[in-house]
Amino acid sequence: MTDFELFLLDDWWRGEGYDHCEDWTKEDVLNWFGDRGYIFVEYDDEENDIKFKIIKNFIFISEFVDSDWRVVLYELDSICCEPYTSWPYTDFSWERKDLINLLYKMKLIERIVKIESI
């Protein structure tokens, strides 16, 4: 491997290879989880449908966990589906600024990019 190839790999693992994820559709998200062996149950009604938002290489997604709806945070530049944390679904704010603030408070965003450039 040349130095140039190593640089490109390093960039990818810092999340720069996932800039396009914010445009993902529901199908893209379900495929990402499915490729890692995690299958979501899909519901026919909109009220119980999966909701998600992607900020850089992190995804906030609604999930039915232990008989309760939660919002679960995953990092997309991973080969597995390991959640960082979760929050109760009720009264969760899906506003972009609030999601960025959560990532910033958890010190997940500063290692990827300065908050002003998101």
Q: What is the pLDDT of residues 16-47, one digit of tens each?
A: 455 567 889 999 999 999 998 888 776 666 66
pLDDT in tens, 54-98: 998 899 999 888 888 999 999 988 888 889 999 999 999 999 989
CA angle 98, 104, 107 (to 5 degrees): 150
Locate tokens 């720069």: which residue? Answer: 16
Q: Indicate the number of domains in the chain.
A: 1
pTM over the 0.85 mark? no
Range of 13's domain? 3-117
- Rounded to an integer, what distance in angstroms lies between the CA atom of residue 62 and that of residue 69? 7
